[in-house]
Amino acid sequence: MGYRELLQALEEEVGRQVRELQEQARREGQRLLEETRREVAVEREAVLTRERRRFEEEAGRALSRARLEQERGLLGEKRRLLAELRREAEARLPGLGEATLLARLADELVPELGDGPLEFRVDKGQEEYLRQHLSQRHPGLLLRATITGAADRCGGVKVSLAGRQLLDNTLPSRLQKAWPLLEGGIATILFGEGDGGV
């Protein structure tokens, strides 16, 4: 084998090795490209998942805030309606203070009246009825009592004990005492089940 043939064989070998190296480089480049694409796809999916989760959490918080605001608004409106109902009841109750009710309300106070002078205050026009009732049921009280008619209707009776202590057994005062016990039941009737804690 001559120099020329040796050169040609060497040239062919170098060409073959170059082609092999080029093919290896191409395959390695292809492998790196595919690996990079896979890694980018995985990273993209991870970023999308994180962002989706963050968005869902933010949306959940926003929805919770909106629901809370709505519930606060509803609660405020329910309280306003209950307060309006209470004011209306307080305004109407004195008009319900008929004579037989007055007698019962006065009788409820008798055990607390003690031995001193008494001043009964009732709605104007009911003084005589109370006087008759006390003379029949509690004659001892009538001897030490004065009965006056109040200018404002109270629907019941107030008693001043020796000018120091006032016992109030009027319909509005009874409503005021009973309201905390009644409010939950009224709310349930008005607004439905489960709203008794207004």
Helix pair 3-92, 171-191: axis angle to 10 deg: 140
pLDDT of residue 4: 86
pLDDT of residue 155: 80
pLDDT of residue 100: 78
pLDDT of residue 170: 84
Phi, psi of 170 (to 5 degrees): -95, 160
pLDDT of residue 193: 65
Task: Give the C-alpha distances (Å, rounded to integers) separating 197 from 4, 65, 90, 159, 191.
Answer: 107, 21, 22, 35, 11
Render pLDDT for 172-191 as a digit per residue (tens, 0 to 9). 888 899 999 989 898 899 88
List all residues 6 or more positions away from 123 whose beta carbon is below 8 Å from its beta carbon: 94, 97, 102, 149, 150, 153, 154, 155
pLDDT < 70 regions, the chain = 1, 97, 193-198
pLDDT of residue 92: 81
pLDDT of residue 93: 76
